[in-house]
Structure 1
Amino acid sequence: MEFSYPFSAIVGQEEMKRALLLAAVDPRIGGILVFGHRGTGKTTAIRGLAGLLPPMRVTGDCRYNCDPADERDRCPQCAKDAANGRAKSRKAPVPVVDLPLGATEDRVAGALDLEKALVSGEKAFEPGLLARAHRGFLYIDEVNLLEDHLVDLLLDVSASGFNVVEREGLSVRHAARFVLVGSGNPEEGELRPQLLDRFGLSVEVASPGDVATRVEVVKRRDAFDRDPRAFAESWKRKDAALRARIGKARDALSSVATSDAVLEQAAALCLALGVDGLRGELTLVRAARALTALEGGAAVTAGAVRAVAVSALRHRLRRDPLDESGSGARVERALVEIAA
């Protein structure tokens, strides 16, 4: 049995961990982009998140992860079973699917099932990674190196929430809504602006700057590598508590109040930073609401907005050749100015 490094055992990197937890509470926040140098725990944190996600209900053995409570987006087989009274549901883990850089478009979107075509002459569809990731997370390591044709595919699916495949005599359309999680090294290239805009939160991570933290990271990783089972067991209780906290926050999310004053604060901040469109405000408010639910609050506060502002807006700023400060510093400076 393969064990993932426990999420609760990750040392530091608080902004990254918080962003992943917020996406787990409210997937509508959008994707999470994690940029940092190699060896800073990006992949470890994202894969550790899978162990925290409360299970979801799916229809029978559906290969598209259809939601038994949602009648709108059922695949043809699930719709047929429901009409005939044969629909069954079961609990399943929330998928966290890796999209390799070298994956073909057929592997990602799905294609003709060659085995059935050769054996029985039947034209059947073999779902791809997008179908597996529906209602879960799609993870792309080194996302800034992703080939352009796959970027175009992801943009289309992210915008519509559906994957459409029309080739080799097949015409298939299925729901494909997922949280896109990307990690990368800024030294290896930038993302296309269209894809960058699809990420709700952007996080920057760096290696620990003090000896004590670095030593603790090495000790924990070494303990995990020597005995993954025992290490995972020792952190099982803390991961379970975090999983329960996520589930409770999800249940409370719809009841968290958002005042006009908070909305005005978000709008004023985006205007001060010259953010294009309204996606910045929407993400900012949703992230602040998810943080409030995660912390057990009843109403979004100005403090919650400030806490998530840098993550929600740093990747939406226009470049200013006259301002050498980083985008995160510009957001923090604008927060101070609108509060004055």
Structure 2
Amino acid sequence: MKHVFPFAAIVGQDAMKRAMILTAVDPGIGGVLVFGDRGTGKSTAVRALAALLPPISVVSGSATNAASEGDVADWDKGAGREMRDVPTPVIDLPLGATEDRVVGTIDIERALTSGEKGFEPGLLARANRGYLYIDEVNLLEDHIVDLLLDVAQSGENLVERDGLSIRHDARFVLVGSGNPEEGELRPQLLDRFGLSVEVRSPADIEERIEVIRRRAAFDTAPDAFVQNWAAGTAKVRDRIIAARARLAGIETEDAVLRSCAELCISLGADGLRGELTLLRTARALASYEGATKVGQEHLRRVAPMALGHRLRRDPLDEAGSEARVTRAMDSVLA
């Protein structure tokens, strides 16, 4: 059995881990973009997330992870009537994936054997109610980016081809990773990520030694290593489940809403998506930490990841996005 490195065993990279946990608490935040140096644990964290997430209840055999019989599409012939719990899907979207592989296409085998037109679902169907992960997302082909933008906007995948007209739910948390040296992300796709974090190679010698120690232990005896960290993984999973349950009851005072608006105005963020994402993320953090209402400190801790990638470029300001957000917070949240 192939083991995945435990999420709880990842050393450092607190911002990346916090962002992924918060999207698990509230998938409506809109996904995570992780940009940074090679070999900093980006892909490891995403793969570990799959083992961390609570299971979901689906109609047995459903190709789109339908939550009830009423959600099963007419073309989904494999769906049964029983409900069963399955791991939250985390689906990889390879850079070389064709459009048919992503959105779905005609079921050739069914057409040849029975003469009927059928639909072969793609990666978007499998990712419904789960996560869609794209490594090196900044290298994704433009026509695939356009498809993702359409689906991310509507929450549905529409396929019109060869006499078929198929529509199915495609609501997923988009997770992307990449190296900024290999190219920038298109602004339209960048805006679709709720949170963005930058990861850097650790500068602390003790932290680097601990990374080596844990990785060597995992490679040598993966069964024992995973077992040793099982309690830590279960603790994070239980906190996510508890946070989901109390999320709706988190109070938000008008002063917090005003701070969200003032912060986005101060930063010159376009549209209102910044305020909405900032508030949802702060509520998720408050819920995860067991608070009953959102405070200014919650805003301060999530603002860099919720707003940093939404800033307009200022050629006269050489400070990075995180520094600009911090400067604005010092002014607005003082």
2:181 maps to 187
1:272 maps to 266
2:114 maps to which of 110, 113, 120: 120
Distance across 2 between alignment mates of 1:233 and 1:24 = 23
Q: Does 1:52 align with 2:52?
A: yes
**Compared CA separation, residues 111 and 80, structure 1 to 2 (3 A):** closer
2:96 maps to 102
TM-aligned CA deviation for residue 74 of structure 1 = 3.7
1:87 maps to 81
Q: Does 1:177 align with 2:199?
A: no
1:28 maps to 28
Residues 3, 228 of structure 1: 8 Å contact kept: yes
**Compared CA separation, residues 19 and 259, structure 1 to 2 (3 A):** same
Write the letter of the residue equivalent to 2:32.
I
TM-aligned CA deviation for residue 223 of structure 1 = 1.1
2:15 maps to 15
Write the deviation string for residues 8-36 of structure 1: whole angstroms up to 9, x where unpaired.
00000000000000000000000100000
The range that moved more, 6-15 or 228-237, is 228-237
Residues 16, 197 of structure 2: 8 Å contact kept: yes
**Compared CA separation, residues 79 and 248, structure 1 to 2 (3 A):** farther
Write the deviation string for residues 39-76 of structure 1: whole angstroms up to 9, x where unpaired.
0000000110111111111012111101128x4x4422
Write the letter of the residue equivalent to 1:75.
A
Q: Does 1:139 align with 2:137?
A: no
1:155 maps to 149
Residues 59, 78 of structure 1: 8 Å contact kept: no
| Aligned residues with identical type, % of pairs | 62
Count of residues in correspondence between the two structures: 334
TM-score by length of 1: 0.96
Distance across 1 between alignment mates of 2:333 and 2:260 = 12
Residues 315, 327 of structure 1: 8 Å contact kept: yes
Write the letter of the residue equivalent to 1:278.
L
Distance across 1 between alignment mates of 2:231 and 2:286 = 23
Partner-residue secondary structure (3-state), 1:164: strand
Distance across 2 between alignment mates of 1:109 and 1:77 = 14
TM-aligned CA deviation for residue 120 of structure 1 = 2.2
In structure 1, the gaps of 5 or more residues are none
1:285 maps to 279
Write the deviation string for residues 155-203 of structure 1: whole angstroms up to 9, x where unpaired.
0000000001111221110000000000000000000000000000000
**Compared CA separation, residues 106 and 309, structure 1 to 2 (3 A):** same
TM-score by length of 2: 0.97
Distance across 2 between alignment mates of 1:22 and 1:339 = 22
2:242 maps to 248
Distance across 2 between alignment mates of 1:253 and 1:37 = 34
1:199 maps to 193
Partner-residue secondary structure (3-state), 2:134: strand
Partner-residue secondary structure (3-state), 2:281: helix
Write the deviation string for residues 84-137 of structure 1: whole angstroms up to 9, x where unpaired.
xx7321111100000000000100100011111222222110110000000000
Residues 53, 88 of structure 2: 8 Å contact kept: yes
Write the letter of the residue equivalent to 1:35.
F
Q: Does 1:321 align with 2:320?
A: no
Q: Does 1:296 align with 2:294?
A: no
2:124 maps to which of 116, 126, 130: 130
Residues 62, 72 of structure 2: 8 Å contact kept: no
Distance across 2 between alignment mates of 1:217 and 1:327 = 28
The range that moved more, 266-275 or 111-120, is 111-120
In structure 2, the gaps of 5 or more residues are none
Write the letter of the residue equivalent to 2:105.
A
Residues 78, 87 of structure 1: 8 Å contact kept: no
Partner-residue secondary structure (3-state), 1:204: strand
The range that moved more, 226-235 or 194-203, is 226-235
Distance across 1 between alignment mates of 2:92 and 2:60 = 23
Q: CA RMSD in A?
A: 1.5
The range that moved more, 26-35 or 164-173, is 164-173
Partner-residue secondary structure (3-state), 1:66: coil
Residues 109, 163 of structure 1: 8 Å contact kept: yes
Residues 99, 139 of structure 1: 8 Å contact kept: yes
Partner-residue secondary structure (3-state), 2:209: helix
